[in-house]
Amino acid sequence: MNIIKVDNKQIAKALFYKFYYSKENRDKEALRLAKALLESTTMTFHLGDVDYNIETELEKFDCKLSIGHNGNTATFNLNGKTEIEAEKWKKMCDEIYN
């Protein structure tokens, strides 16, 4: 098992492509990720479908989210790195970009 560290921004970019080119009309998720990539170093998620969809996809990449003290928010550090199995990363990127 080969573990690699992937930049969180790279993961967010991959998810942007996934949502942007989705046949399920996921434009809101894609725009939310694009805004965060351009303007922020963190993404804060609240209750709601768009944030839930992004948060769920980040968890598939083994991303660690910081949960707020009230349990209603989660934060993702775009400047951080996530440890993930190399094979899993390759498989997920192949699914998104191909």
d(CA 10, CA 90): 13
Q: Tens digit of pLDDT for each residue in 53-80? A: 999 999 999 998 898 888 788 899 999 9
Is this prediction's pTM over 0.85?
A: yes
> Can you say whether the dihedral through the CA atoms of 51, 91, 21, 78 is positive or negative?
positive
Q: Tens digit of pLDDT for each residue in 79-95? A: 999 999 999 999 999 99
- When pLDDT is averaged across residues 14-34 and rounded to a whole number, the result is 90
In angstroms, how far is CA 72 from the centroid of its own chain? 18
* Average per-residue pLDDT for the chain: 90
- When pLDDT is averaged across residues 24-50 and rounded to a whole number, the result is 89
